[in-house]
Chains A and B, each alone.
Chain A
């Protein structure tokens, strides 16, 4: 009897303790915009923690798992938490949520002990398509439901205090429509992140309001002088000075507002207060929204692929796998025909020999032959030695133009090529990827950065992506003269000249200059006095080549490097600014043969 009571009391105590203990920390979670989020995009997540118990220091961990498909796509985001007794704290994350995402996991650990371990259900609230974020006291856009703006995009109405403080969190948002009272109320971080988002292609529409004190007036395309009431009505109008090129005219010539470009995005300002009765059903509003909708930049194939958070690593992986032996259609068709016919003819031969007593011998013989065929195929397809020593690496330096100095969308993003590049030139095997987001973002890539971008002027580009693509066709021949190892010759076989070319042998850099098409240049390595010091020039090409060649030189090879006068650029990326910054690098290598030993 006594034991039973003891057991009951201890159980009750245990339950009570655990209940009390678990209630020490209250937390609430806000995912996306009002709980809605866009699939395959970066999504804001705000966690509010309130500590009722003793003070705690530990770390908060958010785990997002999109491994529903083939590849493992688990990301962990960790932030340190220091909660004094009785304090609350807001921690904001920007996390990717994919199409196959499982429920998010939230863990708070303090000195090895799990205080919170909970899952955040996603409840199928993920949307496909972009958002229009409306931050306004008025609950609608005064548009008919059939309006194209509403057909393509989902409207969400978050509270201004809930707007995220990272530009990346607006990844899936195409338009932010904000009332000026709320625009003035934005915190500095919120404003900076919205400005960063605009510069990378967002569209911000600010509508006139009652507040006459514009704090962030410089950002708008107009100068606001004040607010006046139109006599005889409730209509409030901002009095503004607007530059003529910023004026936004409707089809009937009415000056509805003003427009300014910032980076790739646009900022609209409308001086009228649409809360007043006469303007609420004004038909011109449809036209205004059409203009706003039109100014949303169309998705660029390349950029949208890069911006897909989960695909980023896959993208790098694909590059690492540089055995992307892209044979042309004819060759593969021929190979396929040969291999299929080899198998089929083997079967037919066996069939013809079916009356033989030693049929298994024939089958074994044909199996050996088939194995030999497969081996030949394997060697043909995967051995790079049948190619020439020289090949080209096309580097497209892609960046987002016109970044405002207020904020950068991506601070830097560098993707390098690694592995075997289909030639004798070896790049470091481990993937080189360096990904730095804004300082408050915790993005862990499993890759070890091996290329460094400290040399690059970071302020100029918001996002830099190096695309490496190898060509199988040989652009130039690079060889030693027989019996005279110290003389190397470069022969330009392509129809483009190779400019700014140079040799790197050991720690020496020998300038060659331009190699015109169809010409060859011989260099005596012993006579040349190379520069050992590499000047800090701002030239993009030399920076990239220095950066890229540094890991190559560890293999102690002689390397010829130059730039094609007309860079290769995939025609589908029809962005002229990107094209201007593309450059095609010709790289050839020779193993060192003791040239510098004597």
Chain B
């Protein structure tokens, strides 16, 4: 028996024509940009200027932008073709348990993160090899893209369970939070700034030392988000069930 939440999300994410178009648009834009910024000079040009082709960076940031949009969108809106089902409605009308709800949302988040990472992976690999990234560094970057995707989904979900239904304020808040994190983090947390981390990872010789701190931070952040989401959902579901009783 498949989790009903997972099934609903799947329908919303893959059967919906709008989401299909979004995925397609992401791929198209990425392919176009990679074509456009393909290095036209020979290797010696880059060696003499001691730079690397910008192709990988462009591909990476395009992918990050698309991924953040898609994951947050899928986390804060569980649209099923026409109707929007809020968290309250799930608990009020279907009578599912807290565990089922959480399992459905989390498993879909994981599934969708894997899907998005894999969707853009082949193009990222080509861009990485042209931009002279070593396989180890490229693998770590891909891993971190996956981590970030998971965290973005959880952030979206966190706001969703607070507002309980899709709300304009909620979308605004999530986007504001993301923008704030991306633009303010170089000043507030210089060691864990995402874009900086990705840049350092590209030619880091000592990978583990570079990755160690952000990895622990990710683990802590993910656990905190999961714990917070679980606590809020448990609290709401108990209250709703109490009221029903």
A: residues with CB less than 8 A from B are: 70-72, 301-302, 305, 308, 311-312, 314-315, 317-321, 323-327, 329, 332-333, 335-336, 338-340, 342-344, 346-347, 350-351, 354, 359-360, 363, 367, 370-371, 373-374, 377-378, 381-382, 467, 469, 570, 572-573
Contacts and interface: CB of A to CB of B under 8 A. Distances in A.
Nearest to A429: B205
A323 B132 contact: yes
Contacts of B47: 315, 318-319, 467, 469
B226 interface: no
Minimum-distance CB pairs A-B, first 4: A339-B122, A70-B199, A315-B50, A381-B129
A301 B205 CA distance: 28
Interface string B66-108: 0000000000000000000000000000000000000000000
A325 B6 CA distance: 42
Interface string B101-145: 000000000010011001111110110011011110000000000
Contacts of A323: 129, 132-135
Contact of B118 (A72, A359, A374): A374
Contact of A360 (B10, B30, B118): B10
Given A318-B46, A318-B50, A332 B122 contact: no
Contact of A343 (B48, B51, B119, B129): B119
A314 B17 CA distance: 47
B145 to A, nearest CB: 13
Contacts of A321: 132-134, 203
A356 to B, nearest CB: 10
B20 interface: yes
Contact of A301 (B48, B125, B126): B48
Nearest to B200: A70
A315 B199 CA distance: 16
Contacts of A317: 203, 205
16 contacts: A70-B200, A302-B48, A314-B50, A317-B203, A327-B130, A329-B38, A332-B126, A335-B126, A339-B126, A344-B24, A344-B27, A347-B20, A347-B24, A359-B14, A359-B15, A360-B6
Contacts of A302: 48
Given A332-B130, A359-B15, A370 B118 contact: yes
Given A318-B51, A338-B122, A347-B27, 9 more contacts: A301-B49, A324-B132, A340-B31, A359-B14, A359-B15, A381-B125, A381-B129, A382-B129, A382-B135
B183 interface: no
Contact of B120 (A72, A324, A343, A351): A343
A312 B49 CA distance: 10
A255 B183 CA distance: 64
Contacts of A371: 118, 121
B132 A370 contact: no
A340 B135 contact: no
Most buried by B among A305, A374, A469: A374
B126 A377 contact: yes
A342 B134 CA distance: 24
A346 B43 CA distance: 34
A71 B199 CA distance: 8
B52 interface: yes
A358 to B, nearest CB: 9
Contacts of A570: 42, 44, 48
Contacts of A308: 50
Given A351-B20, A367-B118, A570-B44, A336 B123 contact: yes
B196 interface: yes
Contact of A359 (B10, B38, B52): B10
Contacts of A344: 24, 27-28
B123 A340 contact: yes
Contacts, number: 142
Interface of A is mostly: helix
B123 A339 contact: yes
Given A343-B120, A351-B20, A570-B42, A327 B129 contact: yes
B115 A360 contact: no
Interface of B is mostly: helix
B34 interface: yes
A370 B46 contact: no
B235 interface: no
B129 A325 contact: yes
A384 to B, nearest CB: 11
A575 B6 CA distance: 66
Contacts of B134: 321, 323
A354 B81 CA distance: 12
B165 interface: no
A569 to B, nearest CB: 9
Contacts of A332: 38, 126, 130
A339 B49 CA distance: 30
Interface string B24-59: 100110110011001000111111111110000000
A320 B50 CA distance: 12
A71 B52 CA distance: 13
Contact of B52 (A318, A572, A573): A318
B172 interface: no
A315 B47 CA distance: 7
A311 B52 CA distance: 12
Nearest to B130: A332
Given A318-B47, A318-B132, A324-B132, A381 B27 contact: no
B164 interface: no
A396 to B, nearest CB: 10
Contacts of A315: 47, 50
A381 B121 CA distance: 13
A336 B126 contact: yes
Contacts of A360: 2, 6-7, 10, 111
Nearest to A311: B50
Nearest to A446: B205
Contacts of B42: 326, 570
Most buried by A among B114, B121, B132, B203: B121
A326 to B, nearest CB: 5
B119 A370 contact: yes
A410 B164 CA distance: 68
Most buried by A among B10, B129, B200, B203: B129
Nearest to B137: A321
A387 to B, nearest CB: 14
Nearest to B131: A324
Interface string B174-203: 000000000000000000000010011011
A70 B134 CA distance: 17
B119 to A, nearest CB: 5
Nearest to B52: A318
A350 B50 CA distance: 44
B122 A343 contact: yes
A242 B111 CA distance: 85
Contacts of A340: 27, 30-31, 122-123
Contacts of B126: 332, 335-336, 339, 377, 381
A319 B203 CA distance: 11
Contact of B114 (A72, A311, A367): A367
A431 to B, nearest CB: 8
Most buried by A among B27, B28, B118: B118
Contacts of B125: 339, 374, 377-378, 381
A469 B44 contact: yes
B1 to A, nearest CB: 13
B154 to A, nearest CB: 21
